[in-house]
Amino acid sequence: MSSLAGKVVSIVGAAGKDNMGQVIARRFAQEGAKVIVSGRHEHPLRELAEEIQGDWVLCDFSKKDSIDQMIDSILDRHGRLDVAINCTGWGLLIPMTENTEEQLDRMVDLQFKGPFFWLQKLLAAMDSTGGSIIQISSATATIMLDDHSAYMGTKAGTDHLIRCVANQYGEKGIRANSISPGVTETPMTADAMQSQALVETFRKCYPLGRVGTSEDIAAAAVFLASDECFMTGQNLQVNGGLTLRRNPLGKEIQEAMVAAGEIPAP
Ligand SMILES: NC(=O)c1ccc[n+]([C@@H]2O[C@H](COP(=O)([O-])OP(=O)(O)OC[C@H]3O[C@@H](n4cnc5c(N)ncnc54)[C@H](OP(=O)(O)O)[C@@H]3O)[C@@H](O)[C@H]2O)c1
């Protein structure tokens, strides 16, 4: 029997077709978990919940009240919460000099304040039972990518919140870890992935010779969620060795696209 059989698992950020949250939800359901998927759109959540014989709850992860309501309704309906995974994110690519205050507020609300309030609520929900908390971070919280500062800064800050939880609440049986994908084929990167030159420029940075898939991340999440995992406060680099090297620079990507005739020379 799988180590996840019977576990109640919340996955937020699972309302995008075949995105990382959805792939992780399907994998956890295959492992025998009762999966509750959340996000901002009812229709895809309802469809996925039916497919995996789970449940769904709406949640706007940039709003504290909505996060609290999501966790309260999971506890009401399912009695406990064993594993919580945050797959929300906003892949804003913009030069730091052009990043508006409005964009920064939106990023901080989603990628730092949301996780903070989520962790706060989870500490209460898991106080007497323990549990495993998994934050989907990014390789770019460790290595640089041009024009990604608000995203990278908030991801790095939230990795440190995960360590705060691990440090102070381990004795309650609560474990908290994060996973850092590199470039992964999901709706977030679908437009960029249209460029063969871009994909090839990134691919060369991966010692394992390919960019990532959501299935790679789901496999790591299964391990972190299982009772046999003796890890907490860690950031798993699940990116084919990318962080041993570096992401291509913006100008290297542009040069490759020009050379391939995908865009005109500047
Ligand atoms: N794909 C990559 O290359 C890559 C690389 C490194 C890290 N990651 C991380 O991996 C995770 C999964 O991303 P993904 O690649 O699957 O991208 P994705 O398809 O864009 O998924 C992110 C999800 O977050 C949701 N979301 C955004 N704002 C929200 C809010 N306020 N409340 C609730 N949900 C909200 C989006 O739904 P809406 O339709 O509601 O906006 C979307 O479904 C993210 O944390 C991302 O930062 C991705």
Segment 21-59, tens digit of pLDDT: 999 999 999 999 999 999 999 999 999 999 999 999 999
Q: Is this model's pTM higher than 0.85 or not?
A: yes
- How many CA atoms within 13 Å lie on the side-chain side of 146? 8
Buried b (16+ CB within 10 A) or exposed e, 3-24: ebeebbbbbbbbbbeebbbbbb
Structure-token pair, residue 166: 């691990």
For residue 266, what pLDDT is reported?
87
Q: Is the shortest distance between the CB of 44 and ligand 1 below 6 Å? A: no
Residue 86 C-alpha to ligand 1 middle, in angstroms? 9
For residue 48, what pLDDT is reported?
98
Q: Is the shortest distance between the CB of 110 and ligand 1 below 6 Å? A: yes
Name which residue sits closest to atom 1 of ligand 1, judged by CA.
184
Pocket test for ligand 1, best of 19, 112, 191, 198 (most atoms within 8 A of CB): 19
Tell me the C-alpha distance between 37 and 14, whole Å: 6
Q: Is the shortest distance between the CB of 199 and ligand 1 below 6 Å? A: no
Q: DSSP E strands: which ranges in 138-256?
A: 174-181, 235-238
Name which residue sits closest to atom 26 of ligand 1, judged by CA.
88
Name which residue sits closest to atom 12 of ligand 1, judged by CA.
87
Query: Containing H/E element for 215?
Result: helix 214-225
Q: Which atom of ligand 1 is nearest to the CA of 151?
A: 47
Residue 110 C-alpha to ligand 1 middle, in angstroms? 10
For residue 2, what pLDDT is reported?
72
Q: Is the shortest distance between the CB of 116 and ligand 1 below 6 Å? A: no
Tell me the C-alpha distance between 48 and 61, whole Å: 19
For residue 24, what pLDDT is reported?
98
Residue 101 C-alpha to ligand 1 middle, in angstroms? 21
Could you read off the pLDDT tens digit of each residue along the chain, which spans 266 residues?
A: 577 999 999 999 999 999 999 999 999 999 999 999 999 999 999 999 999 999 999 999 999 999 999 999 999 999 999 999 999 999 999 999 999 999 999 999 999 999 999 999 999 999 999 999 999 999 999 999 999 999 999 999 999 999 999 999 999 999 999 999 999 999 999 999 999 999 999 999 999 999 999 999 999 999 999 999 999 999 999 999 999 999 999 999 999 999 999 999 98
For residue 3, what pLDDT is reported?
78
Q: Is the shortest distance between the CB of 90 and ligand 1 below 6 Å? A: yes
Q: Which atom of ligand 1 is nearest to the CA of 61?
A: 32
